[in-house]
Amino acid sequence: MKIYGVVVLYNPDESIIKNINSYLNSLKKIYIVDNSEEKNIDLINRIKEISYKCEYIDNYGNKGIAHALNVGAKLAIKNGADWLLTMDQDTSFNNNDLEKTTVELFEIDINKIAVVAPSHYIGDDTKPFYNEIVMTSGNLLNLHLFQKIGEFDEKLFIDSVDTEYCLRIYSMGYKIKRISSIILKHNLGDIKKYKICGIKFRPTNHTFIRRYYIVRNRFYTWDKYKNLYPAFVKWEKIATFKQLIKIILFEKDKLKKIIFSFRGYFDYRKGRFGKYEK
């Protein structure tokens, strides 16, 4: 069984070296796809020197997370890989967790399981975030089924790439297997905690441009899957409305974030996708 990896970079710091080393031993090869618009040549050279397993790929600008993942997947398939570990630059595995995950691959139905995922924790949560949707980072992608399900949707650029792909997996009759004993922590935006009248609020403080992508891509995904998964779409619409309330109550640059949220909606209506252009 050949397991390759892909990690997507965007203006990384030195922690990327430690993160790559946390899972490199379990991989035959890793593609390091760089979406950075300004390159740190010294850091790039150090990344290239981590191991002979590392192949650095300059994407010549930010072409989005979906495109970068597709680059890695297609190269892995070309080289005969069976599974692809998908990582972001900020995530690492503890101890031998990835090795434990790969053991599971021998026991699953490769004709049904499209993704094997760890348990994802958000911020400093003490309980895992369980959902039918799994975040991209830390997942093992079944490349045999990937060729049937299709590539990540590059129209989305960033945000909802994982959501759309998971819903597509389910819509085609395949499954996602989550391994509860393997834990990955994620930071979504810059989460702050507030409490008003006993009610807890956790705004993510995403930038205005991320708000644009979040709104545009969610409307696109909702429209695509509303008939198949109405309960999920309803739940995410409520979550999006709550995020808007938290922006108004707690976040900085409120007006700009709201304006760009509406801009994302209008671009969805006009069919404008890909990277945001001023």
Q: Are 193 and 200 in contact (CB under 8 A)?
A: yes
Instruction: Report the alpha-carbon distance of residue 136 to residue 184 in Å, rounded.
Output: 11
CATH no., domain 3-186: 3.90.550.60
Which DSSP string do the residues of 165-228 spell out, in sequence order? HHHHHHHTT-EEEEEEEEEEEE--S----EEETTEEE------HHHHHHHHHHHHHHHHHHTTT
Rounded Cα distance, 22 and 95, in Å: 7
Mean local confidence (pLDDT), 173-192: 75
Residue 58 sits at the vertex; the CA angle it makes with 55 and 63, to the nearest 5 degrees, is: 125
Question: Residue 34 phi/psi, 5° resolution?
Answer: -100, 110
According to the model, what pLDDT value does residue 128 have? 46
| pLDDT of 188 over the 60 cut | no
Residues 6+ apart with CB under 8 A from 57: 31, 32, 33, 34, 71
pLDDT band of residue 97 (cuts 50, 70, 90) is confident
Instruction: Kindly tell me if the per-residue pLDDT of 130 is higher than 50.
Output: no
Is residue 49 classed as helix, strand or coil in its secondary structure? Answer: coil
Phi/psi for 183 (5° steps) reads -120, 135
Between the alpha carbon of residue 240 and those of residues 38, 132, 214, 222, the distances in Å are 32, 17, 9, 12
pTM for the full predicted model:
0.91
- Name the token pair of 208: 């205005």
**Cβ-Cβ contacts under 8 Å for 92 (sequence gap 6 or more):** 18, 19, 22, 23
Rg of the chain over Cα atoms, rounded to whole angstroms, equals 19
Give the mean pLDDT of the chain: 90
pLDDT classification of 114: cutoffs 50, 70, 90: very high
Quick check: 123 pLDDT over 70?
A: no
pLDDT band at 201 (very low <50, low <70, confident <90, very high): low
**What does the pLDDT average to over 141-169?**
98
What is the model's pLDDT at position 129?
47
Query: In this predicted structure, what is the pLDDT of residue 185?
Result: 65
pLDDT tens sequence across 218-262: 999 999 999 999 999 999 999 999 999 889 988 899 999 999 999
Q: Tell me, what's the pLDDT at 250? A: 85
- What pLDDT score does 204 carry? 73
Which residue from 103, 191, 174, 94 is spatially nearest to 132, judged by alpha carbons? 174
182: confidence class by pLDDT, cuts 50, 70, 90 = confident
In this structure, what token pair is assigned to residue 93? 């595995």
Q: Hey, which of 111-120, 250-259, 264-273 has the most confident mean pLDDT?
A: 264-273
Please state, in angstroms and rounded to a whole number, the distance separating the CA atoms of residues 165 and 136: 9
Grouping H, G, I as helix, E, B as strand and the rest as coil, residue 245 is: helix
| pLDDT at 118 exceeding the cut of 50 | yes
How do the domains of the chain map onto residue ranges?
3-186, 194-270
Q: List pLDDT tens digits, range 8-64.
A: 999 999 999 999 999 999 999 999 999 999 999 999 999 999 999 999 999 999 999
